[in-house]
Structure 1
Amino acid sequence: MTVQQGKIGLIAGGGDLPARLVDAAKASGRAVFVVALEGHCETPEALGAPYEIVRLGAASKILGQLRAHGCVDVVLAGKVQRPSFASIRPDLRAAKILARIGLKSLGDDGLLRIVGQELERDGFRLIGAHEIMRDLVTPVGVLGAVSPDDQSRADARRGLEIARILGQADVGQGCIVQQGLVLAVEAIEGTDEMIRRSAEYARPGPGGVLVKSSKPQQDQRLDLPAIGVTTVEQAYQAGLSGIALFAGGTMIIDREAVIALADRYGMFLVGLSLPDGYDHDK
């Protein structure tokens, strides 16, 4: 898909990805305006672009700011802790959205889909982070100097199956498997907490495998799971053998640095494709 020219509106959460997207967009000659989500985007002044801090529930203000600054394309990027209804404090526009989808969709893939639909309804073009930074998406194969052994490959495949089932139920995007045993699955706590928790249940012998996958029903422009150097560091501290990612459905932030760190720790990093005969849409 070819990204149009014009200003990019970045709705930014936390982490390193928003700043990298700003740099990549500017390097391609495109201006960026940032809607920094209050309480999630920690240092908007460091992003290197004009910004406005807006709370998550202020839908009218978010859309108004994007429109006022002449944004054509809009991308959502960065970590956003899944909110409760009380913490959103919805304005009238957001309240109408929530009334339409129901509270059961809060924090789920369904809520992200509605956000995308609202942006497009207002005339913006929703794009994925990977459309700005082409090297974000995980390719198939071993990505570093370390290859998984037979046990780790089996754990990775088992983990991918579990992660896809979790995703289909709209629960999470990852799990950790060691020697065929599921040590932890990801829910609202996020990847970092899941990794830390898994260390409490690790068995003797070869370490487990962190597996991340997009949800089968997921809009690829929204909230693709991502790892970075911090993920590798935490996986190493938890005693994991490596990381397996669903190729084409996950992102690696600062790929060269991630691979280098995994190599230094003797951990594998691999992109997995779905096996033949697997239903890609379920």
Structure 2
Amino acid sequence: MERLGLIAGNGRFPILFAKSAKAKGISVIAVAIEGEASPEIEQYVEKLYWVGIAKMGKMIRTLKNEHIEKAVMAGGLTKSHIHSRFKHLKLRPDMRAINMWYKKLRSKHDHSILEAVANELAIDGIELISSIDYVQDLLAEKGCFTKRKPSENETADIEFGWKIAKKIAGMEIGQCIVVKDKIVLAVEAIEGTNETIKRGGKLGRSKVVVIKLSKKGQDPRFDVPTIGTETIDYLKEAGVSTLAIEAEKTLILDKEDTIKLADKYKIAVIAI
């Protein structure tokens, strides 16, 4: 039986990944991040270990002791925890995490941090691989998923915002922007997608367009753009009428429920 390590962050994706892997006959050993991952994941994995977000040494030792040779990352981390003031007092990092943070990071950008984690795993013979290979059915195919299609004005906003969103993502600022009438209302930063949607919606009030995509050359091993029912609820609350995502690079979690909810709220969801 194939054995696979799972480093689980927040959101539904780690749970859906573990569930999918179990259905495929894969034995999953999960290292769940305290304060981020959901306890629900336990029912879909062979073993579950909890570690602090800054306990790099403990995380790697746990996977090594389980003889894990390949692992995936799934789920997000609360960025404000990582970049907060007095983070070292709050997170109590172990020596391996401290060494990585101060001696090995090229920058404090998300990609650099995650790449450094992958390199630390590799030092101990653990290869970090893409989670997408195991959940191909969750990838958004090109086209409109909902009964309602984007209007002419919304389509114009998508075309206007797409290039801007690509540039912003390429600069490692964020994956999401909010647009109305060819005006950018909000750009994702450290607060994350949902808070960006709320902020943009407050400014636009209604008929707002959200664009969420990956940066050029995005490493599929981590930080894959995802949407789900929670996303749709935020869109509804913010007065968003259309969500545009990137085809073949975005995961739709709980797809049937997500699209059904979007239809209920008359929100157009389209992959480009």
What TM-score does the superposition give when structure 2 sets the normalisation length? 0.91
Partner of residue 30 from structure 1, selected from 9, 23, 26? 26
Runs of 4+ in 1 over 6 A off after TM superposition: none
- Does 2:33 correspond to 1:53? no
Residue in structure 1 matched with residue 212 of structure 2 by the alignment = 212
Q: 1:66 maps to what in 2?
A: 63
Distance apart, 1:230 and its partner CA:
0.8
RMSD: 1.8
Partner of 1:94: 97
Shift of 1:101: 3.7
Match of 1:179 among 153, 178, 181: 181
Residue equivalent to 1:235? 235
- CA distance in 2: counterparts of 1:45 and 1:240, whole angstroms: 31
Q: Is the 8 A contact 2:150 2:242 kept in 1?
A: yes
1:48 Cα offset (Å): 3.0
> 1:159 offset after TM fit, Å?
2.3
Aligned residue for 2:8? Answer: 12
**For residue 73 of structure 2, what is the amino acid of its counterpart?**
L
- Report Cα offsets for 1:42-62 as digits up to 9, x if no partner: 426644322111112111111
C-alpha distance 133-162 of structure 1, shift in aligned 2 (>3 A):
same
Q: What's 1:279 paired with? A: none
TM-score, scaled relative to structure 1: 0.88
Residue among 199, 202, 217 paired with 1:200: 202
CA contact (8 A) 1:74 1:127 kept: yes
Specify whether residues 247 and 45 from structure 1 end up closer, same or farther in structure 2 by C-alpha distance, changes over 3 A only: closer
Shift of residue 99, structure 1, vs aligned partner: 2.1
Distance 2:38 2:72 in 1: 18
* Corresponding residue number in structure 1 for 2:225: 225
Partner in structure 2 of residue 275 of structure 1: none
Q: Secondary structure at the match of 1:241?
A: strand
Structure 2 distance, partners of 1:145, 1:131, is 29
Conserved? CA contact 2:132–2:220, under 8 Å:
no
Letter in 2 for 1:246: E
Greater displacement, 70-79 / 86-95: 86-95
Q: CA deviation at 1:120?
A: 2.7
Aligned-partner residue type, residue 22 of structure 1 = A
Q: Residues of 1 paired with 2:140 and 2:103: CA distance?
A: 35
The answer (yes or no) to whether the contact 1:22–1:47 under 8 Å persists in 2 is: no
1:67: how far off? 1.3
Q: Deviations over 1:15-50 (max 9, x none)?
A: 111111111111101111110111211426644322
1:243 and 1:15 mapped to 2: Cα distance? Answer: 19
Match in the other structure for 1:106: 108
Alpha-carbon shift at residue 88 of structure 1 (Å):
4.0
Say how many residue pairs are matched.
265
Aligned partners of 1:12 and 1:196: how far apart in 2? 26
Q: Give the match's secondary structure for 2:69.
A: strand
Match status 1:78 vs 2:72: no
Partner secondary structure for residue 249 of structure 1: coil
Does residue 271 of the first structure (1) align with residue 271 of the second (2)?
yes
Deviation of 1:180 after TM superposition, in Å, equals 0.6
Which ranges of structure 2 fall in alignment gaps of 5 or more residues?
Answer: none
| CA positional deviation for 1:96 | 1.9
> Identity rate of aligned residues, in percent?
34
Q: Which of 127, 140, 143 matches 1:141? A: 143
Matched with 1:278 is: none
The aligned residue for residue 189 of structure 1 is: 191
Conserved 8 A contact 2:140-2:251: yes
Gap change, CA 1:44 and 1:37, over 3 Å in 2 = farther
